[in-house]
């Protein structure tokens, strides 16, 4: 049995899609376990360049079954566009399955996301992707959500949607927004069902048989630990749990089935949206990282906030996820830096603290810096650990030490093959 959870270890956009695409070459099953189309997972391979939002990043291997698990939320209209786009680029989508338990992002969730974000004062803005993620998970927890399986049960759907809409329209009314009409939404839902019905299934028998049969399974996370609903920097978080502990629940398998947890770690730090970012560089270094790393959001196109690697945040991530190994990405972005800084801990009111404090204090911490020499040569052709320049090896070893987990992969370019495989074994 080999069930590998692939988790974002920082503030998101670590390169999860790129790592899952690589692993999927040998995987039997890939399951997206949380989040929705707020994700932008970039994959660059022989077929082309893709920015996936809800489709699992395993779709490029036609032999790999890809599942959107019950912990994820689906905007059916967006999904249909995404399917059409990848099909137009030659991707076989016959093996993509959707759990009947996925909650549906409705048009009223998207409207509410935008209105609620606008209503927040500037400093309190989360900077959401406006994909309806907060409102759909709110309805899920309030037990008033609509799920993909409901699309095939017209009577039930009419009752459930009627209830949900009453509440959504009351809320929308507070913002002066026009109400959504039940009949119009039911017509939309019919259209979604016509296209998506063959893919909407009880995914458990499939997942169970692959796991029991000893198949290779990848659990694909969305976003990163620092925006986890419970252990991230609340309230500047998403409305689900990217951490590995949720991977089992969201995918529909026992927690004890997970055999590996790979933390995906960018060689520096980026964040899109509000909230603290202790190692942010609002200076020429930050601009250089943004340009060299092409740090612009895959979903919203927003410039990402950039800073040096944060060893305190990684320690937090390793504890919460139990990383068995790391995939360090974007090492090549540092190729031309003569010196590289990294944060090895935080001071709060001048005193060294253990770990990552809660949000108001996280906004006040001072990083403790270390400076390491750069390597000033290209790493893009490296495929083996021994191909990497010694200074890059030292930097990676320091990251592994701060994380308390060994390095399994080092990514040296966005393309599938630009990967140093330190440890390729699945078991
Ligand atoms: P994800 O959301 O975690 O899947 O990450 P994103 O796709 O949002 O952001 C990662 C970005 O970095 C994408 O544009 C990738 O193509 C790119 N990328 C991934 N790995 C590497 C790498 O090793 N080097 C470089 N230069 N770019 C990379
Ligand atoms: P991937 O999977 C980076 C950020 C938003 C906002 C906060 C909440 O590509 O790493 P939401 O729309 O979820 O309610 O927004 O989280 N955010 C992301 N940042 N990458 C993402 O996904 C993100 N998904 C959400 O900017 O601050
Ligand atoms: Mg992304």
Asked if 92 is an active-site residue, the reply is: no
Of the bound ligands, which one is closest to the alpha carbon of residue 38?
2
Cα Rg for the chain, rounded, in angstroms? Answer: 21
Q: Which of 414, 420, 421 to mutate to test the pocket of ligand 1 (most atoms within 8 A of CB)?
A: 414
- Domains annotated for the chain, with CATH where assigned, are 2-102+199-261 (3.40.440.10), 103-196 (1.10.300.10), 267-321+331-381+390-406+417-421 (3.90.170.10)
Distance 237 CA to ligand 1 centre (A): 21
Q: How high is the pLDDT of residue 189?
A: 98
Q: Closest Cα to atom 28, ligand 1: which residue?
A: 414
Of the bound ligands, which one is closest to the alpha carbon of residue 43?
1
Residues lining ligand 1, Cβ inside 6 A: 8, 13-18, 39-42, 44, 298, 329-330, 332-333, 411-414
Q: Which of 9, 12, 41 to mutate to test the pocket of ligand 2 (most atoms within 8 A of CB)?
A: 12
153-169: pLDDT as tens digits: 999 999 999 999 999 99
Of the bound ligands, which one is closest to the alpha carbon of residue 39?
2
Distance 101 CA to ligand 1 centre (A): 30
pLDDT above 90: residue 363:
yes
- The stretch 286-310 carries a mean pLDDT of 93
- The stretch 80-95 carries a mean pLDDT of 97
Distance 93 CA to ligand 3 centre (A): 22
- Write down the catalytic residue from 28, 37, 41, 113: 41
Average pLDDT, the chain: 97
162-199: pLDDT as tens digits: 999 999 999 999 999 999 999 999 999 999 999 999 99
Q: How high is the pLDDT of residue 200?
A: 98
Q: How high is the pLDDT of residue 185?
A: 98
Of the bound ligands, which one is closest to the alpha carbon of residue 126?
2
pLDDT above 90: residue 426:
no
Distance 12 CA to ligand 2 centre (A): 7
Instruction: Please give the distance of CA 11 from its chain centroid, rounded to a whole number.
Output: 9
**Ligand 1: which atom is nearest the Cα of residue 419?**
23
Residues lining ligand 2, Cβ inside 6 A: 8, 12-13, 38-41, 126-129, 131, 133-134, 222-223, 227, 236, 238-239, 272-274, 298
Asked if 150 is an active-site residue, the reply is: no
Banded model confidence at residue 298, pLDDT cuts 50, 70, 90: confident
98-156: pLDDT as tens digits: 999 999 999 999 999 999 999 998 888 999 999 999 999 999 999 999 999 999 999 99
Q: Closest Cα to atom 9, ligand 1: which residue?
A: 13
- The stretch 333-350 carries a mean pLDDT of 98
**Ligand 1: which atom is nearest the Cα of residue 14?**
3
pLDDT above 90: residue 299:
no
pLDDT above 90: residue 300:
no
Distance 9 CA to ligand 3 centre (A): 12
pLDDT above 80: residue 1:
no
Banded model confidence at residue 301, pLDDT cuts 50, 70, 90: confident
Q: How high is the pLDDT of residue 325?
A: 97
Distance 223 CA to ligand 1 centre (A): 13
393-408: pLDDT as tens digits: 999 999 999 999 999 9
Q: Closest Cα to atom 26, ligand 2: which residue?
A: 273
């Amino acid at each position: 049995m080999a069930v590998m959870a692939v988790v974002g270890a920082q503030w998101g956009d670590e390169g999860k899609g790129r790592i899952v695409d690589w692993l999927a070459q040998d995987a039997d099953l890939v399951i997206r376990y949380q989040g929705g189309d707020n994700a932008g997972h970039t994959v660059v391979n022989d077929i082309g360049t893709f920015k996936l939002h809800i489709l699992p990043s395993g779709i490029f291997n036609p032999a790999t079954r890809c599942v959107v698990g019950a912990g994820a939320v689906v905007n059916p209209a967006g999904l249909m566009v995404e399917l059409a786009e990848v099909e137009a680029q030659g991707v076989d989508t016959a093996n993509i399955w959707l759990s009947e338990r996925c909650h549906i992002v409705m048009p009223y969730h998207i409207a509410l996301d935008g209105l609620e974000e606008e209503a927040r004062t500037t400093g309190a803005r989360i900077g959401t992707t406006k994909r309806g993620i907060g409102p759909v998970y709110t309805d899920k927890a309030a037990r008033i959500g609509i799920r993909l399986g409901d699309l095939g049960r017209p009577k039930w759907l009419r009752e459930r949607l009627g209830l949900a809409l009453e509440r959504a329209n009351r809320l929308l009314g507070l913002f002066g927004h026009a109400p959504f009409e039940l009949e119009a939404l039911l017509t939309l839902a019919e259209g979604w069902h016509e296209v998506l019905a063959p893919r909407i299934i009880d995914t458990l028998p499939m997942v169970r048989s692959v796991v029991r049969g000893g198949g290779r399974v990848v659990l694909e996370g969305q976003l990163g630990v620092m925006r986890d609903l419970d252990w991230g920097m609340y309230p500047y978080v998403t409305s689900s749990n990217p951490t590995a502990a949720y991977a089992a629940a969201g995918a529909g398998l026992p927690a004890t089935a997970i055999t590996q947890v790979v933390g995906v770690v960018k060689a520096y730090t980026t964040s899109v949206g509000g909230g603290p970012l202790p190692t942010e560089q609002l200076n020429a270094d930050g601009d250089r990282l943004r340009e060299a790393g092409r740090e612009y959001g895959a979903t919203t196109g927003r410039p990402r906030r950039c800073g040096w690697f944060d060893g305190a945040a990684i320690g937090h991530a390793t504890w919460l996820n139990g990383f068995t190994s790391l995939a360090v990405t974007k090492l090549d972005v540092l190729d031309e830096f003569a010196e590289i800084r990294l944060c090895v801990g935080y001071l709060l009111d001048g005193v060294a603290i253990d770990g990552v404090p809660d949000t108001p204090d996280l906004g006040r911490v001072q990083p403790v810096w270390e400076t390491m020499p750069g390597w000033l040569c290209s790493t893009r052709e490296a495929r083996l650990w021994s191909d990497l320049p010694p200074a890059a090896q030292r930097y990676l070893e320091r990251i592994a030490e701060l994380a308390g987990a060994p390095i399994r992969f080092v990514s040296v370019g966005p393309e599938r093959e630009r990967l140093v495989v330190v440890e390729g074994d699945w078991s």
